[in-house]
């Protein structure tokens, strides 16, 4: 059994895991993360523990109900608990009928990126053929070419329309701070 808490302000454990699991160019600053969690009603920050209170991991995602679309922005499990099914359990926690779940990963170039793709494929995700570039998380950063993956209850991959909606939401909401000339809020 897992205990889930929606944390507007990340715990010390969550912050440490986030900073270790994701390089600087793939994550928000703590201040920007707190600001997004406080001001964006579609942004969900979950911290997960075992029933005994041991910290398991984080799942940060966006849910746009009006588009039946959910975007997993960050998922990380503490290293000593990886390989025990917790990642799959967290993904099942956010499953909704008639909702497409999408996420982005790095192209497979080494053992680590191959393992990451294998994990998501074993959770029912499929690679999408649509080109995708992640906007930078920080002012002055470079965009990163990534791949999109999706999972739907009907077993079909995301449609081009769903992928286009995701791209729009990434630009207008998820990475909106980059549009601002001052990059305020970072």
**Residue 157, domain CATH:** 3.40.630.30
- Using alpha carbons only, give the angle 77, 79, 82 rounded to the nearest 5 degrees: 60
Tell whether 183 is covered by a domain.
Answer: no
Tell whether 124 is covered by a domain.
Answer: yes
Position with higher pLDDT, 101 vs 139 = 101
Q: With bands split at pLDDT 50, 70 and 90, how would you rate the model's confidence at 75?
A: very high
Mean pLDDT of 142-150: 94
> Any alpha helices (H) in 22-174, and if so which ranges?
30-39, 86-93, 111-122, 160-169
Identify whether the C-beta of residue 132 lies closer than 8 Å to the C-beta of residue 103: no
Evaluate if residue 185 carries a pLDDT over 60: no
Q: In DSSP terms, which residues pair with 150 in a beta bridge?
A: 102, 126
* Domain count of the fold of the chain: 1
First to last CA, the chain: 36
Tell whether 33 is covered by a domain.
Answer: yes
Evaluate if residue 162 carries a pLDDT over 80: yes
Tell whether 184 is covered by a domain.
Answer: no
pLDDT of residue 179: 54
Percent of the chain scored above 70 by pLDDT?
95
Identify whether the C-beta of residue 136 lies closer than 8 Å to the C-beta of residue 177: no
Q: Which domain holds residue 53?
A: 2-178
* Positive/negative CA dihedral, 95, 101, 104, 105: positive
């Amino acid at each position: 059994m897992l205990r889930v808490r929606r944390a507007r302000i990340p715990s010390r454990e969550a912050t440490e895991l986030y900073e270790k699991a994701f390089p600087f160019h793939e994550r928000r600053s703590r201040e920007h993360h707190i600001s997004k969690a406080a001001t964006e009603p579609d942004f969900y920050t979950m911290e997960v523990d075992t029933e005994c209170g041991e910290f398991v991991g984080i799942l940060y995602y966006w849910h746009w109900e009006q588009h039946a679309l959910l975007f997993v922005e960050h998922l990380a499990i503490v290293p000593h608990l990886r390989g025990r099914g917790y990642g799959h359990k967290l993904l099942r926690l956010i499953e909704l009928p008639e909702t497409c779940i999408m996420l982005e990963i790095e192209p497979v170039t080494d053992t680590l990126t191959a393992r990451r793709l294998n994990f998501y494929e074993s959770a029912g995700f499929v690679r999408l053929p649509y080109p995708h570039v992640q906007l930078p998380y920080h002012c002055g950063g470079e965009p990163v070419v990534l791949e999109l993956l999706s999972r739907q209850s009907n077993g079909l991959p995301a449609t081009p329309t769903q992928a286009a909606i995701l791209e729009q939401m990434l630009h207008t909401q998820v990475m909106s701070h980059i549009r601002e000339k001052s990059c305020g809020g970072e």
